[in-house]
Amino acid sequence: MRTTHTLNVHFWLKKVSIKNDGTIPIYARIWIDSSPVDISTKEAVLEEHWNLERARVKSRTKYAKVINNALDDIQAKIKIAYKQLIEEGRVISAKAVKSRFLGKDKAVLTLNDIVRYHREHELKKLAKGTAKNYAATEKYLNRFIKEVYKTEDLLLTNVDYSFIVNFDNYLRNCTPLVKSQPLKNNGIMKHMERLQKFMTLATNHGWIKVHPFASYKLKFEAYDCPFLDQKELNAIKNLEIEKPGMRLVRDVFVFSCYTGLSYIDVKQLTVQNIVTGIDEEQWLNLRRQKSRIATKIPLLDEAKAILDTYVNYPNNQNNFALLPVYSDQKMNKYLKVIAKSCGVEKNITFHVARHTFATTVALLNQVPIETVSKLLGHTKLSTTQRYARVVEKKISQDMNKLRLKLKSKSKKNSKHKEIKKGHLRIV
């Protein structure tokens, strides 16, 4: 494998592009291992003022010093670009040097560089709800570098395992950005996960050679999101609510309890998502926002009833949305008031509806977990198992079935023995 390269920079006149005033553009030609590429210097000169042997403007010519200094500066910057690529261990070519010189391939050498690169090139690929969380991670990183390393920025080469462990410890002991929202383990792990993504980008692009997270493992604590049992669900569903806004929130929440849809998926539902299913009944046909997985959900009567309540809502002004949905903050605020009115002491958020569908509506009504997984739009059954917990009632139902089967077998065996015994007695 070749590890050494030959760089040459030569200036020449591009005579095929003579300007109206008779001057000719000066170009720089970069040669690396006999492969050339040209760059415009943005300078021009009359042909008679050009010293072909020195590849510079003749010294006695007007503006010679200005143009020649500009050419010297370009040559120096090309050499710097070449040196940067070598130090970064990048693939060396004339095109690569040109790209670095023009700033199309900016050197990513520091933490601020990689954060900026992620913001400009990767953040736009993420959902808004995911992208907004990176701002907090960036603030914590800046605070950490200033307080611990006493500097504004840090070279990527200094981001090692010790840096990662120190950042983890810092997050566990620092003052949170929002005092009313202290950082807990899973919140800390999310910040570490985002930093890990920054460093994965740096590794993949060759800006660092060793991934600093190689020996560090993210340790999320298992979190059981609450769900409503049937009694609690009925209490919320049947609650008399005078305020229209509060009643709307309750209806949308109950709709999610009987469809398993997340907040964003409910918000994006339109009349086009309602189709006729294989059973000639109404189904929802959509692609989940989070995973982009195609999902088909038969509409239960409880969900249909809510759609019937808002049958006049879809119109051209709201892009024929099926239901009026408030912001998630407002929804969660109202849900807590509704839960309190019903005597439900659980911490209710909109996401509780998805868990309620999986556990109370589906699993406890004998829907197989494989079917629940399809309805939730999951790609892995293990993901569904976190939603559809095997609660005591389900265990009781399953054990009663087992008890009946065992009794039935016992009776059969008992009858078989009596017949056999009687037969022997007759003989």
pLDDT of residue 206: 77
97 exposure class (CB count in 10 Å sphere: 0-12, 13-18, 19+): buried
Q: Where are the alpha helices (DSSP H) in 274-391?
A: 301-309, 328-341, 351-356, 369-376, 381-387
Q: Give the DSSP letter string of 37-89.
A: EEEEEEEEE-GGGEETTTTEE-TTSTTHHHHHHHHHHHHHHHHHHHHHHHHTT
pLDDT of residue 383: 76
Q: Are 115 and 138 in contact (CB under 8 A)?
A: yes
Give 114 or 388, the one with higher predicted confidence.
114
Is the pLDDT at 129 greater than 90? The verdict is: no
- The DSSP H or E segment spanning 285 is strand 282-287
Q: Give the DSSP letter string of 397-422.
A: HHHHHHHHHHHHHHHHHHHHHHHHHH
pLDDT of residue 426: 43
Closest by Cα among 253, 269, 234 to 351: 253
Angle, nearest 10°, between helix axes 161-173 and 185-204? Answer: 150
The 10s digit of each residue's pLDDT in 260-315 is 999 999 999 999 999 999 999 999 999 988 878 889 999 999 999 999 999 999 99
pLDDT of residue 138: 96
For residue 180, which amino acid is it? S
Is the pLDDT at 2 greater than 90? The verdict is: no
Share of the chain above pLDDT 90, in %: 65
pLDDT of residue 1: 42
156 exposure class (CB count in 10 Å sphere: 0-12, 13-18, 19+): buried
Is the pLDDT at 105 greater than 60? The verdict is: yes
Angle, nearest 10°, between helix axes 185-204 and 111-121? Answer: 90
Average pLDDT over residues 58-80: 94
102-116, 197-211, 383-397: segment of lowest average pLDDT: 383-397
Between CA 272 and CA 322 the distance in angstroms is: 9
Q: Which residues lie below 8 Å from residue 117, measured CB to CB, with a gap of 6+?
A: 106, 108, 201
pLDDT of residue 54: 94
CA 249 from chain centre, in angstroms, equals 27
Between CA 63 and CA 23 the distance in angstroms is: 13
The 10s digit of each residue's pLDDT in 176-202 is 998 888 999 999 999 999 999 999 999
Average pLDDT over residues 134-144: 96
pLDDT of residue 387: 67
Banded model confidence at residue 85, pLDDT cuts 50, 70, 90: confident
pLDDT of residue 419: 56
pLDDT of residue 403: 85
Is the pLDDT at 110 greater than 50? The verdict is: yes
Angle, nearest 10°, between helix axes 134-149 and 161-173? Answer: 100
Strands 56-57 and 24-32 come out as: unpaired
Share of the chain above pLDDT 70, in %: 93
* Mean pLDDT, the chain, whole residue set: 89
pLDDT of residue 409: 76
pLDDT of residue 427: 40
What is the chain's alpha carbon radius of gyration, rounded to the nearest angstrom? 34
Is the pLDDT at 217 greater than 90? The verdict is: yes
Between CA 75 and CA 41 the distance in angstroms is: 10
Q: Are 254 and 360 in contact (CB under 8 A)?
A: no
Backbone phi, then psi, for 417, in 5-degree steps? -70, -40
Banded model confidence at residue 222, pLDDT cuts 50, 70, 90: confident
Number of H helices, E strands in the chain: 16, 8
The 10s digit of each residue's pLDDT in 225-259 is 889 999 999 999 999 999 999 999 999 999 999 99
Banded model confidence at residue 221, pLDDT cuts 50, 70, 90: confident
pLDDT of residue 258: 97
For residue 253, which amino acid is it? F
pLDDT of residue 3: 57
Degrees (nearest 5) of the Cα angle 230, 235, 239? 150
Banded model confidence at residue 411, pLDDT cuts 50, 70, 90: confident
Give 41 or 378, the one with higher predicted confidence.
41
Is the pLDDT at 420 greater than 70? The verdict is: no
pTM, entire model? 0.62
